[in-house]
Structure 1
Amino acid sequence: MTATTAHPLLDRARRLATDLLIPEAERVDQEGVPVSHIEAVKRSGLLGAGAPVAYGGSGAPPDVVRRIAEILSGACCSTWFVQTQHHTPVQTLAQSGLPVRERLLGPLARGELLSGVAYAHLRSYPRRVPVRVRREGGGWRFDGTVPWYTGWGLNDVMLLAGVTEADEVLFAFAEAREQAGLRASEPMRLAALTAARTVSLELDGLWLPEEAVALRAPYEHWAPGDRARTLNATPAVFGVAEAALSLLAPETAAPLAARLADVRRRAYALADRPAPLERVTERLAVRAEAYEVLRTATTAAVVAGGGRAMSLTSRAQRLAREALFLLVQGQTTESRTAHLHALAAT
């Protein structure tokens, strides 16, 4: 047996999916991710899957972490999307040498706290500066707009980022609640994953102390690592596609399953290469190919479901909408351009 099939965390992920996420997924899609789902995820130990063992995490290898994401996203993409935000703060703290590491890495790795992230807006820099940070007193003042923040009302803390006047990125932790200098919009109504409680955040003098800072680095040093994360297909693409294939008759599913396995193998082989910014064109091409298999699988599930697939209680219809969401999740100008070129060539 391989690590991907035998690791105990995978047993926990499958139980969580089978016992809770799948049976409740259509209701959650319409009503929102409940706090009880988040508490179940916290208890499962999955929030610390890739976290250092010394801080209470499991230190699981990448293939296990990816398979967990596939299982959760295929079961309930909204719940997966809320909890997947948590892993970036954990990774950031694991690599940080600043005092906040000792305060928060343990609680996050053990699942005592759930963290969200508010940093995707940095990808528009230097064309735009949605969030500006400047020194104030013994800390930092944040001003601007975070266009997308997922998990509002579910997260305990957030990892918030902005750009300083010295062209540095600065990441700091804040409590995930309205407070002086931080106001949230009403939850957004989206075509898919409205359940994940996504809002925009208005920052008007939010002040965070120096000891809340987890990362401070020149933008040009940080950006290549962030770019690398957007070049590869996310495991959720394979999780949702696999869930869609489970709704098909075996003779229909078999050739699509073979295509899915092939592109998944190539995508993960590229993701595991030690130089994350090499073979960029190939990575983006495989990413686009993974989306094409996802689209085909979810479309087939809708076709197989017939008129019933138009009901909001239809699993096939929910998976098709989730597939649309994944097309733009983590999208950059570079990945969008490559995907459009791939679509135009078909």
Structure 2
Amino acid sequence: MLPSSIPPPPPAAADFGALLERARRIAADVLAPAANATDQAEVIPRENLLALKGAGLLGLATPTRYGGHGAPGRVAREYTEILAGACGVTAFVQMQHTTGACPLIARGENEALKERVLPRLASGERFCTVGFSHVRRPGPPMVRAELDGDQVLLDGTVPWLTGHGLADDAVLAGTLPDGRVIFVLSSLREVEAIQPSPPLRLCAMNASATVSLRLRGLRVGREQVIATLTREQQTARDAAGMLAPAALSLGVAGAAAALLAQAADRRGSAALASAARGFAGEIDDARAEVNAWADQPEAAEYGEHAVRARAWCIELGVRTAHAAVAASGGSANLLEHTAQRLFREAMLYSLTAQTRDLQAATVQRLVGRGEEGRGQSGKRVDPA
């Protein structure tokens, strides 16, 4: 639970432009100056989350009827991009709550649960994370669920849960005997049936306090059930949310392009300046593609275009960050170097909310870049 801070403004008076401006100020004044130190910390400073809470931003995507601002997807993506360009680990941790858990609960079937918990989550009184990526994996369920009277019984392993120790609650999911997926809201505080691992060592964002959870007979009351979905419904939800994490990749790409521009100014390099402009233009184009498709998941062509746009953003983030590393020279070998941090964050975003289709599209795009390079070099491309 986050301690008290400046109370957020009344949600009824939400001005998305003003909210985004608050996010930009916090990103510039609080997050970015300490981002490299935060990257090497054991856990993100609570001051980062308190700044977002005090600005009323933790309820950005929660509907107004439950105490939030009800921001549409495009605003939520811009907000995520702003934070990701300043401090990746803060953006990633708060994303679990702001644009992950809160909207998921709001879309659920349990109206009493929404009215009881969402106002507290929207205000930041309680902080929530998520642990359900395992339901996308093929094969035997990693978490099995059973209905036992007025309770849900969960057993198994949640392989990824971010923000452990910061979060009060988590949205967890398990597979019922009939194959449906049940989502529940569980407290993470003082529950003997939830056994966290030590913090996982990741390629980036070790301050995210990411762990795996062993669930041993975790019992959650039926009043905490968020929703029960068929596999088809879960797949459709995954597809509809495909483009939300693209904002993370665009944020890191924007920060890397800014580093290139700064290097160009310091060195008077026309080549670096041209590269920075080129990346900035491509980021704008990729963002426009994301925005064009993100809000129409019902369109017949949505799935194909969404996967391609997300793969473009992933590859663009890694490529722009790699350019910033190359332009930084040997100093980028230092663990605390900004370009290296951005490169590692871009790599992590390559795997965020990954599906098999997205994995294939990302690899294919990288292969295509290689073929393009061979063609430009004048070398023969073997069609076999």
Q: 1:38: Cα distance to partner?
A: 2.1
1:61 to 72, 80, 92: 72
Alpha-carbon distance in structure 1 between the residues aligned to 2:164 and 2:205 = 13
**Equivalent of 1:189, from 201, 204, 212?**
201
- Superposed displacement of residue 274, structure 1: 4.8
Question: Which of 185, 193, 198 is the matching residue for 2:210?
Answer: 198
CA distance in 2, matches of 1:206, 1:276: 40
Question: Aligned residue for 1:79?
Answer: 90
Contact kept, 8 Å, 2:27 with 2:82, in 1: the verdict is yes
Q: Establish whether residue 301 from structure 1 lines up as the match of residue 321 from structure 2.
A: no
Normalising by the residue count of structure 1, what TM-score does the alignment of the two structures yield? Answer: 0.93
Deviations 1:241-297 (A, max 9, x none): 001111112333111111111121112211122516633223222222222322221
* Structure 1 counterpart of 2:135: 122
1:292 matches 2:303? no
Please report how far the alpha carbon of residue 339 of structure 1 lies from its aligned counterpart in structure 2 after TM superposition.
1.5
Query: How far did residue 226 of structure 1 move?
Result: 1.6
Residue 219 (structure 2) pairs with residue 207 (structure 1): yes
Kindly tell me: are residues 85 and 7 of structure 1, through their superposed partners in 2, closer, same or farther at Cα, counting changes over 3 Å?
A: same
Query: Residues of 1 paired with 2:315 and 2:107: CA distance?
Result: 35
Higher mean Cα deviation, 332-341 or 214-223?
Answer: 214-223
Q: Is the 1:232–1:283 contact (alpha carbons within 8 Å) kept by the matching residues of 2?
A: no
Aligned to 1:168: 180
In structure 2, which of residues 35, 39, 55 is the aligned counterpart of residue 29 of structure 1?
A: 39
Give matches, 1:241-280, under 5 Å.
241-248=253-260, 249=264, 250-275=273-298, 278-280=301-303
Q: Percent identity?
A: 38
> How far apart, in 2, do the equivalents of 1:277 and 1:180 lie?
47
RMSD: 1.8
Aligned counterpart, 1:147: 159
Q: Give the 3 Å change call, closer, same or farther, for CA 39–163 of structure 1 in structure 2.
A: same
Q: How many residues align?
A: 341
Distance 1:329 1:58, change over 3 A: same
Q: Which runs of 5+ in 1 are unaligned?
A: none
2:319 counterpart of 1:319 = no
Q: CA deviation at 1:233?
A: 5.7
Deviation for aligned residue 1:342: 2.0
Shift of 1:71: 0.6
Where do 1:328-339 residues align within 5 Å? 328-339=351-362
How far the C-alpha of 1:55 sits from its partner, in A, is: 1.7
Distance between the aligned counterparts of 2:315 and 2:218, measured in 1? 42
1:234 aligns with 2:246: yes
Q: Report the CA distance shift for 1:320/1:95 in structure 2 as closer, same or farther (over 3 A).
A: same
| Inter-partner Cα distance in structure 1 for 2:349 and 2:335 | 19
Contact 2:144 2:156 in 1 (8 A): yes
Deviations 1:285-342 (A, max 9, x none): 2222222322221111112211111112211110011011111111111111121122
- Distance, in Å, in 2 between the alignment partners of 1:107 and 1:163 is 28
Query: Which amino acid is the alignment partner of residue 257 of structure 1?
Result: A
Alpha-carbon distance in 1 for matches of 2:155, 2:85: 37
8 Å contact 1:231–1:280 — kept in the other structure? Answer: no
Pick one of 218, 229, 234 that aligns with 1:217. Answer: 229
- Say whether the 8 Å CA contact 2:297–2:303 is kept in structure 1: no
Larger deviation, residues 216-225 vs 47-56? 216-225
